[in-house]
Structure 1
Amino acid sequence: MVVLFVLISGTLCLFVLSLLRPLVEEVRKGNLSTLGKRIQHRFVRRINGLRYLLAGPHIIDHEYSRAGGKPFTIPTPSNDHLMITSTELIKELMSAPHQTLSLHAVAKEMLQPKFTMYGFEWQDQRGVEGTGFVRALRSLLTSHLPQFQPDLDRIIRLALEDELKTTGSDGFARAQLFPMIKRIVTRVNCFVFFGEELSNNGEFTEAALELPQTIIQTAELLRVSPAFLRPLVTAIATRRHRASRILFRYLEPVVKERLAKRCAADQHAAKQDVPADCMQWLIDTSPRKDPWSPSRMIGEIMAIWFSSVHQLAMTATFVVEDLCLHREYMEPLRQEVESFAPEGSVHTARLDVSKLTLLDSFVKESIRCSNADAISCRRKALQTYVFRDGSRVEKDDWVCIPQRAMMRDAQRYSDPDKFDGFRFANANGLLRLGQTTDKVPDKDPSTITTATVEWPIWGLGNTACPGRFYASLVMKLLVTQILTEWECETPDTTQRHMIWRSSIVPREGTVGLFRKRASSQ
């Protein structure tokens, strides 16, 4: 009841304040003659903005169709979103100064870290001290993926067996797909981020699973809450920062020890054996001239931890659901996996997943059809910005790419509403032969991890997701484990998702049926 009260009262307060703001401004300027029309216009836009909360992707799709390739604006309860689709404008967006159009400011507005992350505060712009983190994930994590793969494969296999150990009289184990995959992704990520010891600690991994969910839910409540209620809402929604406090308790001594060892090694110019995990690489690439405190370091680690779990779990869930729903793809995908398995083994610990072009295409088509977010490449205007074509984004508004609408555009994809699991594999084959590609917009062969204007799900340019190669590997290992070890299907073909703002989130209640394959027993 408290959550419902906050949502309703907060939304109404925001609505009233959005109407009063132009009234105060016009009275201050003395422009009373235009006041009525401005308030009426504001009223209509804010009503549409409230609709965005529950139907954002559909509203964006509709306006995209009406715009005919031109920029268009979507009102939301808090600000307006300018949507751009042309290659020229998207390239201009990517090259705009971060001091003007800021990705970091978007994340701050969305996640409310001052409240949701145990008091950890962000600036509106990410300074140069954060560039090392990109290197830690893009270069160090990616280069260690072959080393990690056997352990990732083992953790996923054991996690699936643990989740699906209870079977019914028909031989099938039943599992709610989204909760199950969130737990699996958390176990895998804990190993890569924090090492073997912490990843085997039940209290720690439970808190690590809880934190991203708590951040998302609390941040959304705060965005529609009056300022005076935010401390109370935060305390209730986070259970007084229960997950954050547990993670801090476990991480603080480890981070202190590792920071001290780095300092000692720097002073004595001596190399030491250090753990090979993301936490260590983030510490190693953090500033040396003005070192961060352990609390600041843990805050940065938790912020990156959030992004590593939330989106990957949603995307992987849709991929597994599509595998259950489109069972005609299981046998050709299974044959591809077995054909590349080392020494004829069905196990995937040493499988070169980069060779699985059909699987890559299937996962990519799942993302195209069941995108977890209708928009990408968000930037917040820290000051008013005017694009070369005259399109204008006002201060505090956002500019975005409507990726879901673009990926369902009949001008870009043939039969865009049809799930074609091998769409991209076939297109890549034609491209390699120098032939036409049946509307798939890529000009060169592409994969899931491609970050281009035609495939912007990872972001673009220097801000493209540095962990996308890791995310791709985890999704592919999960699917290959299911293909080689399990039969799966789902009796639930009704609504697969819920919508909030631009997000398309898998339903918690969608059930998958899994049964061990005879050949794997």
Structure 2
Amino acid sequence: MEVSNLNFALVLLSIAYAFGTAVMRTQKHSPSFLHSVPVVGLRKQAFSITRASLRQLFGGITTLLEGYSQYTQHDQPFAMYDLSSRQETLVPVKDVKWFAEQPDSQLSSHGVRQERHAVEHLHMGVDVPATMHFIERITGDRLTRNLDLLAQPMHEEIQRCIETEFGNDPEEWKEINVYDSVQDIVMPTMSRVFLGLPLCRDTKVVNALKRYVMALGLATIFIGSLPRLVKSVLAGLVKIPLAYYRRQTLAVLVPLIRRQLEHPAEGDSDSEQETGFLRSCAKISEKNAVGGIGNVVEPEIIAQWIMWLAFAGSSSTIIQATNLLLDLANCPKDMEVIQQLRQEAVSSLKSAEDWKDPQSFNKQVISDSAIRESLRFHPILIKGLTKEVVPSSGITLPNGTQMSKGSWVGIPVLGIHRDKRYYPDPETYDPFRFVPFRLNGELQAGTAWGSKLDAAKPTTTYLGFGYGRHACPGRWFATLMLKMILAEIVLHYEIEATAPPPQMRVIGDAALPPMSATIRPIALVKTFHLPSSAPKKIARDTKKPHSKFFSRQCPVSPQNWNLVE
């Protein structure tokens, strides 16, 4: 944590210095808006744009919600400055679908990715368009379509890591750092999927990936927040430690990948799982003929693809899981949310075979609601889906506003997620918010639901995974992992908060998880006994779980839980 705090301090100092020397010169390079688009956060004062931009360092939420209240709720767009002194127009909810349907020839994320995500400054060694194409292909072909094959190894890794992090003592509460523990659960699980056994349990491999992901995440926030003219200068300094971690990670991954591709284990029933993902990477690279994009099948290329995937997948999942556990731990005790999640898990995961079947998790309406609500309450970006106007003639917004070439257009995600019109009492985390909608029809008949209310399915008012054809391609995989982590925890542990819920901390657009927050878990036991006065049907009722009838008896074993009278 000391390294993170040091980097955070350096970010603040560097941004302040960069703004003082470069912001005013960068203004003439940024496309300007017509006067018909109101700019929020700009005051009549000296160095107004510089100061408006600097206020977004920690005041982005205030500016965004102010603009949302004044304009978005009246179906009008508004503009605000970001940390890099770029203007961005944010469209109202009624235009979100139109926005998402625009072809890349009209609105493209490429320029935004290059500048705000600092891709052109930080990512080395691979062709970016080819890599992005690979990520979409491998996520769809190997992850989303094979969740049934991935569920068992994912659960094995999650179970092992949670026991390591949370302990198994039923007599003593153990205080843990949530972010650190989640990181040590997610990274090995991702590595199990990408690299298989035994690489995912090689601490050298996992630690190398972890350090690289952390360094790249910090560098992305830092460099992406700087004005254009100083990006390349300071990126050169930031790339020194980043290049070091990159070399370390490649030095570990490349020989292992080369060995697995050239000499897969023979006679081992798990060999296909161990090398399946790597071989899928090679196959996609070899047959990647879409638009002529592709690379030769080389371990170095595959290693760097996996590093990109690890960064894109693990960083967001770690943030989401950290927020989820803190949200649940801070729920009022009289809600009995952990007990109800436990009852639901008992009902849907009755055997080892159920853990292997993703459909088992589709029956978990309370878990899905809790995850969806956490993503609503804590979006990773307070404004997002940002795209750049491509045509030289510009584009026209639905309200008639003309946007010039190079202008940025996005969506006020946090404002939509906190809008009372869509979410009553939006400032409160309610894990059961979406349950009433899901306790209808087919669900009551005991079948898996297939409605719109799915944590992995974005809508125009739920943007936790983006929206439209460019929504997060790995969202079903991520949601399954979150449900597995949650089920494994509630089946084995009670958890409680150690402090009031921390406030959301935002730097620019990025909503950071509270990295120092802790919770206290204690191990549960395996057998639940119901008093003779309790109707047997209560023990099996997932809609009205009665946790007060439960009592601890002996150390937990997830497949051997019993509900007895």
TM-score of the aligned structures, taking structure 1 as reference length:
0.82
In the alignment, what sits opposite 1:482? 489
One-letter amino acid matched to 1:511: T
In structure 2, do the counterparts of structure 1 residues 470 and 427 end up closer, same or farther at CA, with 3 Å as the change threshold? Answer: same
What is the alpha-carbon distance in structure 1 between the residues aligned to residue 279 and residue 518 of structure 2?
38
What is the alpha-carbon distance in structure 2 between the residues aligned to residue 454 and residue 109 of structure 1?
27
Matched, 1:400 2:400: no
In the alignment, what sits opposite 2:181? 180
Equivalent residue for 1:508, pick from 499, 515, 518: 515
Q: Greater shift after overlay, 195-204 or 470-479?
A: 195-204
The answer as to whether partners of 2:418 and 2:427 remain within 8 angstroms in 1 is yes
One-letter amino acid matched to 2:324: V
**Deviation, structure 1 residue 504:** 1.3
Matched, 1:47 2:51: yes
**Deviation, structure 1 residue 281:** 2.3
In structure 2, do the counterparts of structure 1 residues 274 and 359 end up closer, same or farther at CA, with 3 Å as the change threshold? Answer: closer
The answer as to whether partners of 1:365 and 1:421 remain within 8 angstroms in 2 is yes
How big is each residue's C-alpha offset from its partner over 1:193-248, in whole Å with a ceiling of 9 and x where there is no partner?
1222321221111111122221121133324272563354224542xx23211222
**3-state DSSP of counterpart to 2:466:** coil
Matched, 1:427 2:437: yes
What is the alpha-carbon distance in structure 2 between the residues aligned to residue 431 and residue 42 of structure 1?
61
In the alignment, what sits opposite 1:387? 397
In structure 2, do the counterparts of structure 1 residues 13 and 297 end up closer, same or farther at CA, with 3 Å as the change threshold? Answer: farther
How big is each residue's C-alpha offset from its partner over 1:428-447, in whole Å with a ceiling of 9 and x where there is no partner?
346889xxxxxxxxx96411
In the alignment, what sits opposite 1:141? 143
> Cα RMSD between the aligned structures?
3.4
Equivalent residue for 1:310, pick from 315, 325, 339: 315
In the alignment, what sits opposite 2:530? none
In the alignment, what sits opposite 2:549? none
One-letter amino acid matched to 1:219: T
Equivalent residue for 2:15, pick from 2, 7, 14: 7
In the alignment, what sits opposite 2:464? 457
What is the alpha-carbon distance in structure 2 between the residues aligned to residue 77 and residue 393 of structure 1?
21
What is the alpha-carbon distance in structure 2 between the residues aligned to residue 421 and residue 274 of structure 1?
35
In structure 2, do the counterparts of structure 1 residues 424 and 506 end up closer, same or farther at CA, with 3 Å as the change threshold? Answer: same
The answer as to whether partners of 1:361 and 1:423 remain within 8 angstroms in 2 is yes
What is the alpha-carbon distance in structure 2 between the residues aligned to residue 296 and residue 94 of structure 1?
31
The answer as to whether partners of 1:334 and 1:480 remain within 8 angstroms in 2 is yes
Equivalent residue for 2:164, pick from 150, 162, 165: 162
In the alignment, what sits opposite 1:34? none
How big is each residue's C-alpha offset from its partner over 1:281-337, in whole Å with a ceiling of 9 and x where there is no partner?
233222545651434444333222211011111011111111211142111111111
In structure 2, do the counterparts of structure 1 residues 19 and 503 end up closer, same or farther at CA, with 3 Å as the change threshold? Answer: closer
Equivalent residue for 1:100, pick from 100, 103, 106: 106
**3-state DSSP of counterpart to 1:456:** coil
How big is each residue's C-alpha offset from its partner over 1:27-80, in whole Å with a ceiling of 9 and x where there is no partner?
xxxxxxxxxxx9979942332122112121232122101112211111113311
Equivalent residue for 1:447, pick from 444, 454, 457: 454
Matched, 1:367 2:368: no
In the alignment, what sits opposite 1:151? 153
Q: Greater shift after overlay, 324-333 or 373-382?
A: 373-382
**Deviation, structure 1 residue 93:** 1.8
In the alignment, what sits opposite 1:60? 64
How big is each residue's C-alpha offset from its partner over 1:415-474, in whole Å with a ceiling of 9 and x where there is no partner?
2223222221202346889xxxxxxxxx96411011222322222232121211110011
In the alignment, what sits opposite 1:30? none
Which ranges of structure 2 fall in alignment gaps of 5 or more residues? 1-8, 33-41, 265-270, 444-449, 527-554, 557-565
**3-state DSSP of counterpart to 1:196:** coil
The answer as to whether partners of 1:347 and 1:484 remain within 8 angstroms in 2 is no
In structure 2, do the counterparts of structure 1 residues 448 and 231 end up closer, same or farther at CA, with 3 Å as the change threshold? Answer: closer
Q: Give aligned-pair identity as a percent.
A: 19
**Deviation, structure 1 residue 347:** 8.8
In the alignment, what sits opposite 1:417? 427
In the alignment, what sits opposite 2:4? none
One-letter amino acid matched to 2:70: R
Matches within 5 A, 1:252-291: 252-253=254-255, 277-286=276-285, 288=287, 291=294
In the alignment, what sits opposite 1:84? 91
**Deviation, structure 1 residue 185:** 0.8
In structure 2, do the counterparts of structure 1 residues 121 and 423 end up closer, same or farther at CA, with 3 Å as the change threshold? Answer: same
**Deviation, structure 1 residue 150:** 1.9
What is the alpha-carbon distance in structure 1 between the residues aligned to residue 184 and residue 119 of structure 2?
23
What is the alpha-carbon distance in structure 2 between the residues aligned to residue 412 and residue 490 of structure 1?
29
Matched, 1:340 2:348: yes
**Deviation, structure 1 residue 113:** 3.1
**Deviation, structure 1 residue 279:** 3.6
**3-state DSSP of counterpart to 2:249:** helix
In structure 2, do the counterparts of structure 1 residues 5 and 341 end up closer, same or farther at CA, with 3 Å as the change threshold? Answer: closer
In structure 2, do the counterparts of structure 1 residues 501 and 329 end up closer, same or farther at CA, with 3 Å as the change threshold? Answer: same
Which ranges of structure 1 fall in alignment gaps of 5 or more residues? 26-37, 263-271, 434-442
Count the aligned residue pairs. 480
Matched, 1:331 2:339: yes
**3-state DSSP of counterpart to 2:175:** strand
Matches within 5 A, 1:238-253: 238=242, 241-253=243-255
The answer as to whether partners of 2:323 and 2:374 remain within 8 angstroms in 1 is yes
**3-state DSSP of counterpart to 2:116:** helix
In structure 2, do the counterparts of structure 1 residues 346 and 408 end up closer, same or farther at CA, with 3 Å as the change threshold? Answer: farther
What is the alpha-carbon distance in structure 1 between the residues aligned to residue 441 and residue 20 of structure 2?
53
The answer as to whether partners of 2:168 and 2:522 remain within 8 angstroms in 1 is no
In structure 2, do the counterparts of structure 1 residues 273 and 356 end up closer, same or farther at CA, with 3 Å as the change threshold? Answer: closer
**3-state DSSP of counterpart to 1:493:** coil
The answer as to whether partners of 1:19 and 1:42 remain within 8 angstroms in 2 is no
The answer as to whether partners of 2:155 and 2:484 remain within 8 angstroms in 1 is yes
**3-state DSSP of counterpart to 1:214:** helix
**Deviation, structure 1 residue 261:** 9.7
What is the alpha-carbon distance in structure 1 between the residues aligned to residue 205 and residue 310 of structure 2?
13
The answer as to whether partners of 1:130 and 1:286 remain within 8 angstroms in 2 is no
